[in-house]
Structure 1
């Protein structure tokens, strides 16, 4: 959906200027001028099976003791057990990760991942289709996502519909590393081995469909859920080097649930080797997808604050090499402060003012607002806004996203420049002349207010 500029204009100008900028923006320490930017607002490795986490804070979050299945979930799981019984399989079916976490927190989740203890996901999907043929039902297509170890995608995943719900099927895994290689050899593993290979303790929980029970095989998953604590089952640096995207997932879940990040996790996430792996080892599409999830989630400002706090901004939002002036840590912090200001305005005006897509682009525009005047020259000698490079190249988002963010930046410049006119005591016809066609159809006594 296209983002119309009128709601954004309203958000920028309807509020008094002093309320738009967070207080830190007004200090000389982080002013746009000191950063080389023209400010928008002027103002006076060991692998052990032991969790590597510091002690969590006191218990505070409500976590259910058991999982209550809804009607659709009961139907899906019953069908999967029918397949097991029909073929006489000695297979344990476990729902892994986020679905278990969310159900224990009392939230509904529709992302069901099944872990199999003795066969590949594609093999089990074929069993399901054979069973469907036996019962005279329509077979389902099976999609397979192949392994890609170079991009930290270590497991083959099969996907198919079960009662109109997409289900992912994957085998339990164990990993073995050879010397001087970060790419593991994948083997079938036990549920415990698989749990310790998960990204976070709160995502290491299983729901055993066969026994109708929750399995906390690291011994920390439920404890950390209750404590509101983000930690890794194994030492965090090794966990992040296995798949650097886990750093962004830790940030996303910490922001979503308002959980605290383990100090050892934060230290590992800020490690130069881990930061280099984020920039070089993960595909930009995967990074962009994680950032998009953060921006679209319930606490995008906290997520961006974590990225700044862990000094990951430049690794995530990469810039062209010839960018001048070169952004600093202060300028990165300024980006988050501007997005925080945009977020506060949106909360003040009411979240229903913009659609989800409009809100998403509005927040991207706020985040990259300090970069709005920076232009770089590409290989074809074309001058391009840096914000366009970040959106298109760093995050691999749509060209239309980049175009809309630039349009919002241009609009914000124009409307901010009108504030002195609107606050002046000049004649309404002078105001109308400056505003041009924006206020056609309004009475002279209403033009300063109603146009915006």
Structure 2
């Protein structure tokens, strides 16, 4: 069965309202009658599309033909209060327009009956030459408003007066049935109006597994649209679209489209003072790591990663080729490029950047431990470059447990995520006869062996283990002042503790005294 045929079968001829949706629309119509308002009320965009595809939608965008959204929203709330239902309304707010950032409409918003409801007027816009910022906005007809929307599948209206779907572009329903991503106007004009629509086209295309129109792809890749994406669209809006893609059901396809349309470094922009050249094909390598991570996630048990963990994993995988790349700021300070991309280019939280960088660091440490954890080999001090002398006095048999414990104490409950990132980097001995599926199964099996080994060592939740002694104990026993040496001995005492979890505080103090006695004799 073809993709197009599948969509024909899935698209409904008529919208079926839930009880809550019917109640909301009844109250909107009652508000019109109560205040004798002469305006047509339509639902626009995504809700109409999703209802025709028999999908649930909890965001309702109301479009009014001759009335501002804020004015009507106030009337609706006033009516609800008058009939004793106003207490259920939350967040009666307003989102201001920002034409410089391609947000042209002021929107009123409220939450009612677990539905997010936005109110806005239909619009008609006029532009001055060489600019896509409207020089004039006025109330528009449904046809004018539909043509100013991002995609034909998002330009449909549902008229709550007539209980009917309205397709003013004359192709919204047919594109929905045939599974095509098309703009109502010529794509370049649509994208220059709001360049974020390029990313929205990609996101909706992969979400519904629709085909991007060829003219749309040409326009999306042109320099004018790329320049407009940088100049007109806030990083917050770009970051939100990327986050929705990464959290969606087709993250790899979305990033592949971004690569194919040569938009990767426009979306994941590098620091303006960045000097080291990014190697050709780096973006393809980024997507290749993402692809492997995505496939491994689906090969592993469904319960292995929660949604938050999966998000961090995919971002960490996507930026793996850049994990050692830094740039200079303020004299000699070197900052990871990945931090810049997440915080400055995508405007995500600093905590997100820190977590991705922590995963990269932890995966590097896991790499040196994987052979021992997977096959119970002994670990030699020369096998790890990050031990900082932690295992000098630890028996060979306990070294893997101690160092693995330190890694897990650093990364805590995201250790499985860090482990999988390291599995992406670990060589698995591929031969010429193996296909991609066989290689993925090898990596899956390696992950399972290492995970099982860590659990058998009793290290899951090891980050919750409290140190037997603190810095004050160390200073008292070793006659030290607070400083780097105390921190070093805290780590050594934790290594001693990790060797055998049954050890006690008294034994740890005795061990410290013994160490100190030997140190004094050497002096």
Q: Which residues in structure 2 correspond to 1:216-231 (within 5 Å)?
A: 216-231=167-182
Q: Which residues in structure 2 correspond to 1:27-176 (within 5 Å)?
A: 58-61=4-7, 62-138=10-86, 140=89, 142-176=92-126
2:23 and 2:328 map into 1 onto residues whose CA distance is 57
- Residues 171, 332 of structure 1: alpha-carbon distance in 2 compared, 3 angstrom cutoff: same
Partner SS, residue 114 of structure 1: strand
How far is the alpha carbon of 1:180 from its aligned partner?
A: 3.5
- Structure with bigger helix share is 2
Q: Which residues in structure 2 correspond to 1:281-430 (within 5 Å)?
A: 281-379=232-330, 381-422=332-373, 426=377, 430=396
How far is the alpha carbon of 1:164 from its aligned partner?
A: 4.6
Structure 1 stretches of 4+ moved >6 Å: none
Q: Return the TM-score normalized by structure 2.
A: 0.71
- Residues 191, 426 of structure 1: alpha-carbon distance in 2 compared, 3 angstrom cutoff: closer
Partner SS, residue 67 of structure 1: coil
Q: Which residues in structure 2 correspond to 1:191-270 (within 5 Å)?
A: 191-270=142-221
Contact residue 374 and residue 450 of structure 2 kept, 8 A: no
How far is the alpha carbon of 1:179 from its aligned partner?
A: 2.4
How far is the alpha carbon of 1:449 from its aligned partner?
A: 5.1
- Residues 132, 424 of structure 1: alpha-carbon distance in 2 compared, 3 angstrom cutoff: closer
1:409 and 1:211 map into 2 onto residues whose CA distance is 56
RMSD of the TM alignment (CA)? 2.3
- Residues 159, 427 of structure 1: alpha-carbon distance in 2 compared, 3 angstrom cutoff: closer
| Residue 386 of structure 2 is aligned to residue 438 of structure 1 | no
Deviations 1:176-230 (A, max 9, x none): 1122332112111001111111100110011111110011111111111111110
* Aligned twin of 1:21: none
- Residues 422, 87 of structure 1: alpha-carbon distance in 2 compared, 3 angstrom cutoff: closer
How far is the alpha carbon of 1:81 from its aligned partner?
A: 0.6
How many positions carry a matched residue from both structures?
392
Deviations 1:292-312 (A, max 9, x none): 111111111111011001000
2:365 and 2:191 map into 1 onto residues whose CA distance is 44
Query: Which runs of 5 or more residues in structure 1 are unaligned?
Result: 1-55, 441-445
* Aligned twin of 1:182: 132
1:409 and 1:425 map into 2 onto residues whose CA distance is 24
- Residues 263, 159 of structure 1: alpha-carbon distance in 2 compared, 3 angstrom cutoff: same
How far is the alpha carbon of 1:58 from its aligned partner?
A: 4.7
Contact residue 373 and residue 454 of structure 2 kept, 8 A: no
1:230 and 1:437 map into 2 onto residues whose CA distance is 51
Contact residue 97 and residue 203 of structure 1 kept, 8 A: yes
Q: Return the TM-score normalized by structure 1.
A: 0.82
- Residues 436, 201 of structure 1: alpha-carbon distance in 2 compared, 3 angstrom cutoff: same
1:374 and 1:301 map into 2 onto residues whose CA distance is 23
1:380 and 1:220 map into 2 onto residues whose CA distance is 57
Per mean C-alpha deviation after superposition, the further-off stretch among 404-413 and 162-171 is: 162-171
Contact residue 111 and residue 167 of structure 1 kept, 8 A: yes
Deviations 1:264-291 (A, max 9, x none): 0000000011011112211101100110
How far is the alpha carbon of 1:321 from its aligned partner?
A: 3.0
* Aligned twin of 1:35: none
How far is the alpha carbon of 1:415 from its aligned partner?
A: 1.5
- Residues 447, 439 of structure 1: alpha-carbon distance in 2 compared, 3 angstrom cutoff: farther
Contact residue 96 and residue 115 of structure 1 kept, 8 A: yes
**Greater relative contact order (Cα < 8 A, sep 6+):** 1
Partner SS, residue 339 of structure 2: helix
* Aligned twin of 1:451: 454
